[in-house]
Structure 1
Amino acid sequence: MLNRFLFKRIDNAQLIVFRIFYGLLVSAECYGAIATGWVRRTLIEPQFTFNFIGFEWLQPLPGNGMYIYFAIMGTLGILITLGYKYRFSALAFAFMWTGVYLMQKTSYNNHYYLLMLLAYIMAFLPAGRDASLDAKLNPKLHSHTMPNWVRWTIILQLFIVYTYASVAKLYGDWLDFSIIDILMRSKDDYPLIGGLLQLKWVHKIVAIFGILFDLLIVPALLWKPTRKIAFGLSIFFHLFNSYVFRIGIFPYLSLAFIVFFFEPQTIRNIFLRTKNIVVDQVLTIPKHRNIIIGILGIYFVVQLVLPLRHYAFKDDVLWTEEGHRLSWRMMLRSRSGTIRYRVVNKETDKVSFIDLDDYLTKKQRRRVACYPDFAWQFAQHLKKEYAKKGEDIQVFVTNKVKVNSGEYHEFIDPKVDLASVPWKHFAHNEWILPRQPTDSTKTSD
């Protein structure tokens, strides 16, 4: 039964059309990052970047190297669209995008993580076998079909993303709409809708619609009677997010995914203009079926478990941030904080205070003041900088943080030398102080 479901042949029009959209969008993302100054602000101007911990060896290329890097990725996107050297182009983009993702998190975005996962998924799917230069140059590669597991891999990944995003919203500050009010305050100068976005009843609609859309959109697209309605709501939802939150290609990538929910022949008629495809109903089970099933099984178990890891940590993820990333916890909270670094020379006991303006960009300073891993990493950076001058130091911080509309509370233990403690990836870092019971913020999921 499982073999029949996974390995039956289906029309590949959905995958082929998605490949074209995917290539265009990643190309726009990469060229756009250069044109809008994102590369300059994020990877060139800072003295150093905040990598994912453990990947400190991944550093931006010197000079204008990152412009070239992103230009190459944009070109790979075009090659993906054209289906030229598809496997190489898709895999090269996946590796390069992973490098960018891991070398900086100051501009962290859940959508960048989704694009990294998708890049590897697409690299191993047979997306270059139709409407491609590869198929034209080598007719033996040409095919109008694909195994059914290809389509359902994409659908299941989307279902996980949307479902976890919906469940994460079921916490106090979302349900009382206060976080929506905070997120919308900076949008009051938007043309046409800026004033509308400040209205309380609009906040209620946004909050409730956000939960229901994320929870129901994949089932609604799968069920034929609701598919067209869900498609219309998807257009509204994602264009609204694109305009209001300015989150790059993600809304358009989300709309591109919808091709996997419509009948392949419908997609073929609209985009490929080819005649009806007759799919061979003879079931052919590949010899490596167990490897495919094993890889898919392991991958999706990880995807299901990873967003739940914060439950294994002490205190609330909304406060500690431990387990927040890679968990589809999108647009959930607003953090602000203050921080002061005190450096103590171990030999002379000389005390000095750090002017963050000497080291960090404005955006980096905000992250250091609010997020524990940033605060810890900057302490490690200071330790290395002082070591170059022959000084062995301790680093202490005075740090207060507030979440959403709550009160400021002490966040990092001021008695702990952050330069000497290790970072725990899979356990709670005890120097993160617990949430104070008087905090008016509510607990998250």
Structure 2
Amino acid sequence: MLNRFLFSKIDNSPLIIFRIFFGILISLECYGAILTGWIKRTLVEPQFTFNFIGFDWLQPLPGYGMYVYFFIMGTLGVMVALGYKYRFSIISFTLLWTGVYLMQKTSYNNHYYLLILISFIMCFLPAHRSHSFDLRSNRGLKSDSMFAYVKWAIVLQLLIVYTYASIAKLYGDWLDFGIIRILMLNKASYPIIGELLQEPFIHKIMGVYGILFDLLVVPALLWKPTRKIAFIASVFFHLFNSIVFQIGIFPYLSLAFTVFFFEPETIRRIFFKKKPPYLLQKIEVPSFRNTVYILGGLYFVVQLALPIRHHFIKDDVLWTEEGHRLSWRMMLRSRSGSIKFQVVDKENGEKTTINTKDYLTKKQQRRIGGYPDFIWQFAQRLKKEYAEKGKDIAVYALNSKVSVNGKPYRAFIDQTVDLASAKWNYFWHNEWILPSSTAEKVPKTF
């Protein structure tokens, strides 16, 4: 039964057109980052970036290095779309994109992480066996079919993403539409739709639609009677997100995935009319079957486990942020905070208040007060800077206050803890984050 499900041979048209769409989209993402100034704001202007903890060695290239870096990634995207040196192109892009993802988190979007996952999966798929430049040098690559597991790998990845996104929305601030109201506040200046987005009934529609869409879209696309309705709903949902939230290629990548849900013959007729149809119905169990089972099983176990890890970490993820990333917790919270860093010379007791404006860009300053990993990393940065001057220091976070989803500000960081000496706990709770249940309410004075 499992062999029939995974190793049936089917028309590979959905994979081929997805490769083309995917290559175009990642190239637009990379070239767009250059043209819109994203690279300048995020990777060039900062004195340093807040990398994922443990990847301190991943810092932006100097000078025009990051522009060249993104230009190379964009060009690799074009090569993927053309199917030119496909394996080299997709593996290289995956490594480079993963590098820039780990390099900074001030500008964080879930689709950056999704790109890593999809690129990684695409490294193993035979997406260059039709309509590719690689066939010119190796005609033996040509094939009009693929194993069914190719389709189901993509479908399962999407099912995980959407299902966890829906489940994560089942909490108070989404269900009372408060977080949606907050997210829409800075959209008021949008032409035509700005005022409409402030209406409570729109917030209710968005809240309910968001939960139901994420929960049902994959099953509805899989079931033929509801497939066209689900596709129309997807177009509306993702175009709305593109216009309102301006989240790059993510909405269009999500639409590109829908090619895996339609019948392969339908995709062939729409995009590859001259491509011969693949009509054989056969099961061909490959010699690498066990490898597919083992590696595929391990990969999806990790994908299922990561989004629920916060349940095993002390306190509420909305407060601590521990376990938030890599969990498909999309548009669930709005955070703001304030903090003062005090440096104490351990030798003479001299105290210095740090002005974060001397170190951070405006965007980094908006992050530093509300996110514990940013706070800890900045303390480590100060420790390193003073160590280079021959000074041994302690760093304290004074008057740290955070508001989540517009709620009253509360004390956030234990100001008696020397953050320069504190160790970052990668997998469990960091005790210097004050508990959400007992953190003292503080007035909104900043």
Query: How does the TM-score come out when normalised to structure 2?
Result: 0.97
Whether the 8 Å contact between 2:39 and 2:66 is mirrored in structure 1 is yes
User: 1:135 offset after TM fit, Å?
Assistant: 1.8
The 1-side partners of 2:307 and 2:388 are apart by: 39
In structure 1, the partner of 2:391 is 391
In structure 2, the partner of 1:443 is none
Q: Deviations along 1:337-365, whole A, 9 cap, x unmatched? A: 00000000000100000000100011111
In structure 2, the partner of 1:317 is 317
In structure 2, the partner of 1:187 is 187
* Correspondence list, 1:139-154, <5 A: 139-154=139-154
SS in 2 for 1:299: helix
Per mean C-alpha deviation after superposition, the further-off stretch among 256-265 and 429-438 is 429-438
The 1-side partners of 2:351 and 2:115 are apart by: 45
User: What runs of 5+ residues in structure 1 fail to find an aligned partner?
Assistant: 441-445
User: 1:283 offset after TM fit, Å?
Assistant: 2.2
In structure 2, the partner of 1:412 is 413
Tell me whether 1:354 sits opposite 2:349 in the alignment: no
User: 1:274 offset after TM fit, Å?
Assistant: 2.3
The 2-side partners of 1:40 and 1:302 are apart by: 34
The residue identity in structure 2 corresponding to 1:179 is I
- Alignment size in residue pairs: 440
Change (3 A) 1:385 1:437: closer
Change (3 A) 1:138 1:359: same
Tell me whether 1:14 sits opposite 2:14 in the alignment: yes
SS in 2 for 1:397: strand
In structure 1, the partner of 2:244 is 244
User: 1:276 offset after TM fit, Å?
Assistant: 4.7
Whether the 8 Å contact between 1:22 and 1:256 is mirrored in structure 2 is yes
In structure 1, the partner of 2:444 is none
The 2-side partners of 1:197 and 1:191 are apart by: 11
In structure 1, the partner of 2:94 is 94
In structure 2, the partner of 1:365 is 365
In structure 1, the partner of 2:262 is 262
User: 1:383 offset after TM fit, Å?
Assistant: 0.1
SS in 2 for 1:337: strand
Q: Deviations along 1:362-418, whole A, 9 cap, x unmatched? A: 111111100000000000000000011111000001210010021100000000000
Tell me whether 1:218 sits opposite 2:190 in the alignment: no
The residue identity in structure 2 corresponding to 1:435 is S
Whether the 8 Å contact between 1:310 and 1:322 is mirrored in structure 2 is yes
* Correspondence list, 1:36-435, <5 A: 36-398=36-398, 399-435=400-436
SS in 2 for 1:400: strand
The 2-side partners of 1:184 and 1:283 are apart by: 51
User: 1:287 offset after TM fit, Å?
Assistant: 1.2
The residue identity in structure 2 corresponding to 1:94 is T
Whether the 8 Å contact between 1:145 and 1:279 is mirrored in structure 2 is no
Query: How does the TM-score come out when normalised to structure 1?
Result: 0.97
In structure 2, the partner of 1:30 is 30
Q: Deviations along 1:4-28, whole A, 9 cap, x unmatched? A: 2111100000000000000000000
Whether the 8 Å contact between 2:145 and 2:278 is mirrored in structure 1 is no
User: 1:302 offset after TM fit, Å?
Assistant: 0.4
After the TM superposition, list the runs of 4 or more consecutive aligned residues in structure 1 that deviate by more than 4 angstroms: 437-440
Whether the 8 Å contact between 2:90 and 2:123 is mirrored in structure 1 is yes
Q: Deviations along 1:167-197, whole A, 9 cap, x unmatched? A: 0000000000010100000001101100000
SS in 1 for 2:401: strand
Whether the 8 Å contact between 1:265 and 1:276 is mirrored in structure 2 is no
The residue identity in structure 1 corresponding to 2:58 is L
The 1-side partners of 2:440 and 2:217 are apart by: 35
SS in 2 for 1:18: helix
User: 1:136 offset after TM fit, Å?
Assistant: 3.1
User: 1:229 offset after TM fit, Å?
Assistant: 0.6
> What RMSD in Å do the two structures reach over aligned CA positions?
1.1
User: 1:80 offset after TM fit, Å?
Assistant: 0.3
* Correspondence list, 1:434-445, <5 A: 434-436=435-437
User: What runs of 5+ residues in structure 2 fail to find an aligned partner?
Assistant: 442-446
The 2-side partners of 1:295 and 1:196 are apart by: 48
Q: Deviations along 1:275-318, whole A, 9 cap, x unmatched? A: 55134333221111101110000000000011000011111000
SS in 1 for 2:303: helix
Per mean C-alpha deviation after superposition, the further-off stretch among 283-292 and 175-184 is 283-292
Whether the 8 Å contact between 1:7 and 1:284 is mirrored in structure 2 is yes
Give aligned-pair identity as a percent. 66
User: 1:254 offset after TM fit, Å?
Assistant: 0.3
SS in 1 for 2:369: helix
Whether the 8 Å contact between 1:177 and 1:207 is mirrored in structure 2 is yes
The 1-side partners of 2:439 and 2:318 are apart by: 15
The 1-side partners of 2:407 and 2:118 are apart by: 36
Whether the 8 Å contact between 2:144 and 2:276 is mirrored in structure 1 is no
Q: Deviations along 1:236-271, whole A, 9 cap, x unmatched? A: 100000000010000000000000011111111111
The 2-side partners of 1:136 and 1:211 are apart by: 47
The 2-side partners of 1:189 and 1:275 are apart by: 48
The residue identity in structure 2 corresponding to 1:49 is T
Q: Deviations along 1:78-121, whole A, 9 cap, x unmatched? A: 00000000011000000000000000001011110000111111
Whether the 8 Å contact between 2:345 and 2:391 is mirrored in structure 1 is yes
User: 1:439 offset after TM fit, Å?
Assistant: 8.6
Whether the 8 Å contact between 1:407 and 1:439 is mirrored in structure 2 is no
SS in 2 for 1:370: coil
Whether the 8 Å contact between 1:46 and 1:361 is mirrored in structure 2 is yes
